[in-house]
Structure 1
Amino acid sequence: MWRDPGAPADSFYEIRPECTDVPKSRFRIKAGKTLSARKWHAAFSPEGYLDIGKTLSRIHRGGIHPSIRGEVWEFLLGCYDPKSTFEERDEIRQRRRTQYAEWKEECRQLFPLVGSGRFITAPVVTEDGQPIQDPLVLLENNPDGGAIVPPQTPQDNNGMGPPSTDAANKLEKMTDKGVIQWMLTLHQIGLDVIRTDRTLVFYEKKENLSKLWDILAVYARIDTDVGYCQGMSDLCSPMIILLNDEADAFWCFERLMRRLRGNFRCTDSSVGVEAQLSNLASITQVIDPKLHQHLEHLGGGDYLFAFRMLMVLFRREFSFCDSLYLWEMMWALEYDPDMFWLYEDAEETSDKSEEAKARLKSIRHYGKYERENMKNASKSSEEPPLPISVFLVASVLKEKSATLLQQARGLDDVVKILNDVNGNLDAKKACVAALKLHKKYLKKAKKP
């Protein structure tokens, strides 16, 4: 279908007609600025080497055309080395697809609904590993969207509900704590899946909901340290929409989680994202001490009001299309060619020579934000650089500083003022503001 090249990109992510209050995308496909399919394919040599430097600058200028977004993201997230050949990438892709299929089969052996095209929204096991023989009894029709979801109601047949009684009855009492913990998360994943991106026509298809559930279920099984936490479905959903193959979508999500899994790691006393909230407080204290003092006075010195922005990377603050635009802008700015080597297993990279690694070392192969961090590396080498997302939130606070100082008389006011940015943020302007703030912060932080 032909689309006006200057039109908003919403048409690539069709909204359900009854959802009339969804914010419109501000992202426009701009000829000469947006990375087009033609420019993308031209960036590869005949062997398959990618000119990543030129690609990054093009993304920074105008984002990525939706038709090629998935394959470009695989490079931005470090799934593939830009200096690999087409043949090498095909081999890696096939190996990863095989690995995913093996993990999925292991999960299916533990719980037969994995890969069946269905999923659960009610518990099938108790905390001590005892199977819940008839989970149908647990379900009630709850149209208010509470924790218990009907198997299939006339109003919404997308909720697959529980497994059949036969499948549940086949389960035996479990003693392995890891398996019990995983089984306990499966219905939580299901509950989140049916709430994720529900405005999109894409998720009217049951197989797409099932695919999202399967990927999150497999991930929760292999990452035993983090498992599954609310918010991961928001991060995984775009991968399924952009990449046709479920295994490819899984690996793209897995690479993203390598960046963000620290946010989801919980202990009895803290949640991982609190470290970033603490960094946000430090940045605001340096950049806008009056605002920081005001927020502390209101009891918001822990900056928990910004929790969601950092946890799911502004998915709720932007339209669906604009959040994807923001993510790729961030990843292009943060791009580090060392990322690929760090991500690969030791046995896969042991035969890679130092000379091969050095091919990526040209300064133009780093993202703009990463270059700034490199310049200041000697000053702050004790700790890894902060992600650009923290400066994005700081730039939003800075922009709303006058309003917050004048109108916020309690934390509810802070939340209300920040919620007003929902759907009204410009992704490119937000990234430019974050870059400026980052520079300003580094300059001020150096001063005694």
Structure 2
Amino acid sequence: MKVFCGFSKMWRDAGTPADSFYEVRPECTDVPKTTFKIKAGKTLSVRKWQAAFSPEGYLDIGRTLGRIQRGGIHPLIRGEVWEFLLGCYDPKSTFDEREQTRNRRRAQYAVLKEECRQNFHLVGSGRFVTAPIITEDGDPILDPIVLQQTQQADNGMASLSQENGTSYSSGMVKEVDKKIIQWKLTLHQIGLDVVRTDRTLVFFEKQENLSKLWDILAVYAWFDSDVGYCQGMSDLCSPMIILLEDEADAFWCFERLMRRMMMWALEYDPDLFTLYEDPDAATEHSEGSKGKTKSIRQCGKYERENMKSKAKNAEAPLPISVFLVASVLKDRSSKLLTEARGLDDVVKILNDITGNLDAKKACSGAMKLHKKYLKKAKKT
């Protein structure tokens, strides 16, 4: 995901230099250079994006996918477009319906965040922890680092409770609820990853942005306890809070992204890979809902190829992530075969890909491998 947020210079439709959309600290000279430029007539511009909506707000997503594939998305609308691509909003919904959905989700996020704050008082305080706060048995860890990190928040919240005439407790007591214990065990790991995330960007020099990233990841770990938190989620969430100003909107965008990233470990589930599925449809439109079936024009090239071969192949299609990984490995195959002498060398070579991956080349390679796979599957 760092491919999307490590751009030090961007260009407008006219081709004139513009201020950096994702400003990089001047002293960071080892940031990978990008060849991305806004291409007039190819990049999805603000004007073309707005023209894809009907007066009521229905989005002709088919008009935008081709431009996105050919020239990317203009930075000014990238966050809004991502919300549709990740399935936060149904293209068949109206402006009013999306506004209602947005308000409902923001309220739901506020409830989730308050639940987390009740379980651990630093959530939403503007601060976070980088040291363990609890043992696996539920006993609090009175680590000096934790005490130092929480002292400022404790003082502020204690003062506020005195003004309101309420009692305040830091919550440093033995915990017995297994779900809360498991959640608290992840908080310091989230904090450690947060302070290491995209440190070359000026955006993360602000404590409030680091705290926002920690809050979203902490709430997500509580919201989806089966997944919890895994190292690397902070890198995936980082572009969301950069592109989307509202914390709740960034959370739900990240949540939709994570529905697709389970795909690294689980068996294929078509429900997880439906591009425009609406999980709220069952409660919002129990009867008489609009048709959700996608036309082939609304699908991307990968989906279209799968749809064409579906009649001849009864098995569920492989997720595109399989072909992306295969494409990267194929591109690095000569280096792996000639330089790797063991697992440590393999890990080092693959780690060097971070921040240096040519996303367009990887996607093109994945599509070629996918096409070869379908041909062989058709013969067998």
TM-score, structure 2 as length reference:
0.85
Structure 1 residue aligned with 2:302: 369
Structure 1 residue aligned with 2:377: 445
Structure 2 residue aligned with 1:399: 331
Q: State the shift of 1:94 in Å.
A: 0.3
Distance of 2:146 and 2:93 partners within structure 1:
52
Answer yes or no: is the 8 Å Cα contact 1:8–1:28 preserved in 2.
Answer: no
Distance of 2:352 and 2:121 partners within structure 1:
44
Give the alignment's Cα RMSD to 1 decimal. 2.8
Q: State the shift of 1:382 in Å.
A: 3.3
Answer yes or no: is the 8 Å Cα contact 1:122–1:162 preserved in 2.
Answer: no
Structure 2 residue aligned with 1:202: 203
Please give the residue correspondences for 1:119-198 in structure 2 after superposition, counting only pairs within 5 Å.
119-132=128-141, 134-136=142-144, 151=149, 164=154, 169-198=170-199
Q: Which runs of 5 or more residues in structure 2 are unaligned?
A: 1-9, 159-167
Q: State the shift of 1:378 in Å.
A: 3.1
Distance of 2:310 and 2:152 partners within structure 1:
52
Distance of 2:357 and 2:134 partners within structure 1:
43
Structure 2 residue aligned with 1:145: none
Structure 2 residue aligned with 1:154: none
1:351 counterpart = 2:287: yes
Distance of 1:193 and 1:248 partners within structure 2:
19
1:117 counterpart = 2:126: yes
Structure 2 letter corresponding to 1:374: M
Distance of 1:435 and 1:161 partners within structure 2:
53
Please give the residue correspondences for 1:323-338 in structure 2 after superposition, counting only pairs within 5 Å.
338=274
Secondary structure (helix, strand or coil) at the match of 2:134 reads: coil
Distance 1:161 1:389, change over 3 A: farther
Q: State the shift of 1:227 in Å.
A: 1.0
Q: State the shift of 1:113 in Å.
A: 1.1
Distance of 2:256 and 2:74 partners within structure 1:
21
Structure 2 letter corresponding to 1:217: A
1:382 counterpart = 2:315: yes
- Deviations along 1:394-448, one digit per CA (max 9) or x if unpaired, are 1222233344444444444444554555555432232122111100112123444
1:34 counterpart = 2:43: yes
Distance 1:161 1:357, change over 3 A: farther
Distance 1:398 1:220, change over 3 A: same
Distance 1:128 1:414, change over 3 A: closer
Structure 2 residue aligned with 1:144: none
- Deviations along 1:346-390, one digit per CA (max 9) or x if unpaired, are 22232343xx216x532110111011111122344333x222222
Answer yes or no: is the 8 Å Cα contact 1:122–1:138 preserved in 2.
Answer: yes
Secondary structure (helix, strand or coil) at the match of 1:82 reads: coil
Distance of 2:295 and 2:213 partners within structure 1:
38
Distance of 1:185 and 1:343 partners within structure 2:
27
Distance of 2:99 and 2:12 partners within structure 1:
33
Secondary structure (helix, strand or coil) at the match of 2:137 reads: coil
Q: State the shift of 1:208 in Å.
A: 0.5
Distance of 2:131 and 2:169 partners within structure 1:
11
Distance of 2:30 and 2:336 partners within structure 1:
26
Given the alignment, which residue of 427, 430, 435 partners 2:359?
A: 427
Q: State the shift of 1:14 in Å.
A: 0.8
Distance of 1:375 and 1:357 partners within structure 2:
21
Distance 1:418 1:230, change over 3 A: closer
Distance 1:234 1:419, change over 3 A: closer
Q: State the shift of 1:212 in Å.
A: 0.5
Answer yes or no: is the 8 Å Cα contact 1:80–1:340 preserved in 2.
Answer: yes
Q: How many residues align?
A: 356
Structure 1 letter corresponding to 2:95: F
Structure 1 residue aligned with 2:111: 102
Q: State the shift of 1:106 in Å.
A: 1.1
Distance of 1:394 and 1:42 partners within structure 2:
37
Distance of 2:336 and 2:174 partners within structure 1:
54
Q: State the shift of 1:109 in Å.
A: 1.2
Of 427-436 and 166-175, more deviation after overlay is shown by 166-175
Structure 1 letter corresponding to 2:369: L
Q: Percent identity?
A: 70
Answer yes or no: is the 8 Å Cα contact 2:89–2:278 preserved in 1.
Answer: no
Answer yes or no: is the 8 Å Cα contact 1:131–1:168 preserved in 2.
Answer: no
Answer yes or no: is the 8 Å Cα contact 2:39–2:71 preserved in 1.
Answer: yes
Structure 1 letter corresponding to 2:248: A
Distance of 1:257 and 1:95 partners within structure 2:
20
Of 39-48 and 5-14, more deviation after overlay is shown by 5-14
Q: State the shift of 1:44 in Å.
A: 0.6
Given the alignment, which residue of 270, 273, 276 partners 1:340?
A: 276
Structure 2 letter corresponding to 1:58: R
1:257 counterpart = 2:258: yes
Structure 1 letter corresponding to 2:218: A
Distance of 2:348 and 2:145 partners within structure 1:
40
Secondary structure (helix, strand or coil) at the match of 1:376 reads: helix
